[in-house]
Amino acid sequence: MRYFFILILCVGLFSCNTATQKPSLVFATNPVIAHRGAWKAKELPKNSIASLKEAIRLNCTGSEFDVRMTADEVLVVAHDAAYNDLTIETSTYNELSKFKLSNGEKLPTLKEYLLVGMTNNTATGLVCEIKPSKFKDHNALIAGKVVQLVKELKAEAYVSYYISFSYEIIKHIKAIEPKAKVLYLDGSKKPEALKKDSITGLDYLIYKLKIHPDWITEAKDLNLVLNAWTANKSEDIDWLLANDFDYITTDEPELVLEKFKNFPVAKEYELVWSDEFNYTGNPNPLKWNYEVGFKRNQEQQYYTDSLKNSRVEKGILILESYKEKVANSAFKSTTDPDWRKNQKYGSYTSASLHTNGLAQWTYGRIDIRAKLPKGVGLWPAFWMLGENQPEVGWPECGEIDIMEHVGFNADSIFGTIHTKAYNHMIGTQRGKTIEIEKPYETFHIYSIIWTPESIDFLLDDEVYNHIENDHKTTAEWPFDQNFYIKINTAIGGMLGGRKGIDDTIFPQQLLIDYVRVYQKKKEL
């Protein structure tokens, strides 16, 4: 939300005649742009004066509306090309205004609309969409007239953005009014192309950005404004909040405002590390290391660093497990006492990624949004280990299992800590199980909130396990030190293999949408 904090605009007239001085305009520090005003909850007509007033009342940072021009060159606020079966561009304003909106308002002119937007409004920017004309040579004319009217009304500070599906229109606005902020709607241009043309940013259909997640990173790197339309579904809104969009254009401003308020970054936390997987290919080597080979718990999978077992595609990290014969590079002899060295081949491949040596944290909130693999014998986990493991060993280093799942118990997960005093080898680990509906069919958010006093385990933002620091020794609480994250799918082994391995299930995918680490904002 990089832009909100610098958009402090004073529109006082600086005259001695202070009786008429307007209050200063500071755009609200939320990302919510009400699409055609805030109309839905109160069943108001879209693009009505009433829906604009409602967006202002809700304190949205923006209220969007659509502009067209009548045959007699009156600018009106309307979305569709036709109004009550009259084509706006070929009808006069008098003909059109005989028909009222459903709430009794007359068809608003742009002038009336802007004047309302400049009244009793201290926080809501006007987001002005100019609809392309069906007459090719009218686009520049309409754009010019809109900009001229905004100037005449001294509404420049209120109009936060001009947006259009017509590249000609936004380029023309930028040419005649270089200070204007313009966003392109069409979704066909890469961020760098917009930057080259001095376009302020992009306002694309969510789906276009989901298939080009790299454009999000690119836009941020180029300091372009990021907006998306039209986010009405909960998962889309979460996705845009998670990706830190500057704006979210929505028919559900109340819902987005509520979600934003409860989002970690809006509370006491700040994002300190994340992988949104907005790229393609190998997991980012600056963020992830691999485990390779046989590892622990008599698990049957042979971990590899191949693209086949772990890769990023379409904004998602995929950890894929196979039943396949693979040579064990650590093989010594079939009589070696170490099970990791006495098998010439493995029968399964899978992946285990971790941040050890790259990133580690003491305290914070960690969110992992994921869809789990399905099948008896699988044992996917998101977990953390204390970075002092090489010196003190396990379980002295401490372990936090953010999420563990075993395929033979398909509709539950565990959240657990292991320490010297509390661990599964002696049956004293402190964990809880929570029922979860089909975690292999839908994405869920698995989280911990870890402080000096406690660790909470959350499923979809609901705490299901709360563990207090009882302030004894590091045998009970080794959690005042750096930990790193591990993500893996094990196959078989002491826990996952308790009911055998179903060889018919392969291949299986663990899908990770993002991993995000927040820490409390430093006190100033």
Q: Which is nearer to Mg ion, 64 or 513 (CB)?
A: 64
Q: Which is nearer to Mg ion, 64 or 291 (CB)?
A: 64
- Residue tagged 């459903």 (tokens): 102
Site string for Mg ion, 85-124 (x = CB under 5 A): ----------------------------------------
Q: Which of 66, 177, 252, 320 binds Mg ion (CB under 5 A)?
A: 66
The region of 129-137, 165-173, 237-245, 295-303 touching Mg ion under the rule CB under 5 A is 129-137
**Closest approach of Mg ion to the CB of residue 406, in Å:** 49
* 8 Å CB contact between 447 and 365: yes
Shortest Cβ distance from residue 59 to Mg ion (Å)? Answer: 21
Burial of 92 (0-12, 13-18, 19+ CB in 10 A): middle
Size of the site for Mg ion (CB under 5 A): 2
Is 110 or 366 the residue whose CB approaches Mg ion more closely?
A: 110
**Binding to Mg ion (CB under 5 A): which residues in 362-421?**
none
Strands (E), 261-408: 269-275, 289-290, 301-303, 310-313, 316-327, 345-350, 352-354, 364-371, 378-386, 399-404
Q: How far is the CB of 77 from Mg ion (least distance, A)?
A: 10
Q: Rg of the chain's alpha carbons, rounded to an integer?
A: 28
**396 is annotated as an active-site residue:** no
Per-residue contact flags (x/-) with Mg ion for residues 20 to 59, judged by CB under 5 A? ----------------------------------------
In contact, 130 and 164? CB cutoff 8 Å: yes
Sign of the four-CA dihedral 490, 492, 493, 499: positive
- Could you tell me the smallest distance in angstroms from the CB atom of residue 158 to Mg ion? 17
Beta carbon nearer to Mg ion, 251 or 367: 251
Closest Cα partner for 77 from 97, 59, 61, 95?
A: 97
Q: Which is nearer to Mg ion, 109 or 278 (CB)?
A: 109
Least distance to Mg ion, CB of residue 119, Å: 22
Question: Which residue type is seen at 95?
Answer: E
The residues near 21 (Cβ < 8 Å, ≥ 6 apart) are: 12, 13, 15
Closer to Mg ion by CB, 66 or 276: give it.
Answer: 66
**What CA dihedral angle connects 295, 296, 301 and 306, to 10 degrees?**
-30
CB atoms within 10 A of CB 325: 12
| CA distances (Å), origin 234, targets 33, 35, 202, 239 | 16, 16, 22, 9
Instruction: Give the CA-trace dihedral at 447, 450, 454, 458, to 10 degrees.
Output: -10
Residue 266: phi, psi to the nearest 5?
Answer: -85, -10
C-alpha to C-alpha distances, 334 to 303, 325, 338, 340, nearest whole angstrom? 20, 17, 9, 10
**Which of 399, 437, 453, 462 does the annotation list as catalytic?**
399
441 as an active site residue: the answer is no
- Smallest distance from the beta carbon of 129 to Mg ion, in angstroms? 4
Q: Judged by CB, which is closer to Mg ion: 27, or 161?
A: 161
Q: How far is the CB of 243 from Mg ion (least distance, A)?
A: 22
DSSP for 118-167 reads TSS-SS-EEEEEEPPPSSTTHHHHHHHHHHHHHHHTT-TTTEEEEEES-H
Contacting Mg ion (CB under 5 A), which of 54, 129, 246, 276?
Answer: 129
Region of 48 on the Ramachandran plot (φ > 0 left; ψ -120 to 50 alpha; else beta): beta
Regarding 251 and contact with Mg ion (CB under 5 A), the answer is: no
Considering the candidates 73, 192, 404, 441, report the single residue annotated as catalytic.
404
Minimum distance between the CB of residue 316 and Mg ion, rounded to whole angstroms?
A: 30
Residue nearest to Mg ion (CB): 129
**Candidate segments 64-72, 83-91, 141-149, 263-271, binder of Mg ion by CB under 5 A:** 64-72
Distances 506 to 323, 324, 365, 503, 510 between C-alpha atoms, Å: 6, 9, 33, 7, 12
Evaluate whether 294 touches 328 at the Cβ level (below 8 Å): yes
Instruction: Please say which residue, 185 or 209, places its beta carbon nearer to Mg ion.
Output: 185
Q: Write out the residues near Mg ion by the rule CB under 5 A.
A: 66, 129
**Would you name the residues annotated as active-site residues?**
399, 404
